[in-house]
Chains A and B, each alone.
Chain A
Amino acid sequence: MNDELRNLYQEVVIDHSKQPRNFRKLTDATCSAEGYNPLCGDQLTLYVKLTNEVIDDIGFTGSGCAISKASASLMTAALKGKKQQEALMLFNQVHILLTEGPNGRVPPDTLGKLAVLSGVWEFPMRVKCATLAWHTLRNALEGKEIPVSTE
């Protein structure tokens, strides 16, 4: 397998795609949003429970490619207990990592487990798979009702 593929499909990514964390509907969600990636048919619904602007709980359902599923799973794992504003700032950091790669403005090691997404950078067509959950998160937090589309 070539290096770019190995960087894209790191073990952690495969693991999160096969056994996504927080893959469930929250019955007590305070906000939710839907996201689509029409190019490959990725679809996810994101549920967030906010208590005093802190993400108390977060979950998602849907179907998608390994990258979008792993990204959603890693995102939910990273965001529990984070403040709403911190979550949105983290999205910015992740977005820079995905588009600029490991040698860009955001060093991967500052992002904890989310660093495994740095390989996506070599596959520009897949960036929208990796950002789908994050765009959906933003919509959920901002209370937008129009589904996100990363096309």
Chain B
Amino acid sequence: MKALRITVSLLLPVVLFWSGAPGGTPVYAQYTSSAHGDSANGVNRSAMTGYARGNCAHCHEQHASVDGLEPDPVADANPSPYELFTLNFDSAVTTNTYQVQDDICFRCHDGSNTVQDPAFQNKDYSETFGCGTPAATPVVDILGAVNQLSYHNLYDIWTFVDGDDTTYPWFNSSTNPCSGCHNPHLARRNNANPRDVTFSAISLPTDHTNLFTASMNDTFGANYEPPYCTNTTDREPASSADAATGRSSTVDYVTFCTDCHTSTNTINSTPLGRNLLTIDWSAGGDKHGLRVTEGTNNARLGPYSTATPPTQGVLSCLDCHEPHGSPNITLLRRRVNGGDLTGSIATALPASFPPVTGDTNTQNKELGYLCMRCHQEDATTVNGPAPSWRDVHHNNTGRPYAASGPCSQCHPNNSPTPLPIGCDMCHFHGATDAWLGGNALNIPTF
């Protein structure tokens, strides 16, 4: 019987064909143009032999099994929410170091232990969009990224988004925290198309069912000056030819990030043991945001040193921060504005942060490695190794503090070589110099 059937089966291709659907109008384009649904580069779980790349089954098992069997990874044979092949997210894991089994995304986004065929890489923003070279300890996948010193804590995202059913009604306790920023059915291969915002990989948490493709140019126009990339001859992202190209090619990360990081939202950080700073990027908020910058000479470096800088210049969040994780604190990039940071920013901020009057000056100048990528440090080092910042605080035109006086009013010691004030005492989101108490100017200092 079987031999006969095998012979006749040769006729099958002749008689099998697709007939038009009399029912609804299917929508394929969104998923099949996504990174996961792309038939050339999409999902392809090694265990799912015979399934086309991009097929739903690489992530979803409609019956928590396939043909009655449990395909790899078999260690987790229980059915999982959303019919996923393994647990979506283990909310018992509250901090890194993450393991592949903690989040289904890591099953593939772990270049060294992936269930995806072939393995692939997701390098950090500094490299993919910021023209950087691999770090000394290269980060080549998302699992590696979030296992660095600072990272977007998945448990905190999960807690925050799930805790607001009004703003994020689509998110529930079984939802993957990565979905807070990414819609896996829509996210596109931005890393392969870094200068095309239509290849964005993100969706607004408040608009999860749409891909977010607004550019910095769309929202801020020329008020956004894309940073240098390779050197001073090109711009982010990814060696854009000029500023106009750069701002049109950069996703509007300000609108995106401030969808959660608003001036009012309380977001707890488990690793930091406190709430995150709120972000006010409006004209009434930070100077790195839309607040009108004062003065004419703030010793800014290119491309921000033009004779007539925009009065409401604004930075993109990712001009300074990595989205997933960083070897520096607070997800600060290892490369900014066309150059690598010359030192590590690894010292943790004080447990009680932000500072208040009476707090001890940290004298921590590490943050200066970031600042000096855009701001001119002292031409002549005053006290200790670079960076030092006496000129911008005391000497330059428009200086905020007196050129001379009793240094010990603010510094730990008096002249002629006062000890530095830690950058983190005054320069952070929402900062003023209020910690100086009676000596404070109470001016925005970020």
A binds B: no
Interface residues of B, Cβ cutoff 8 Å to A:
none
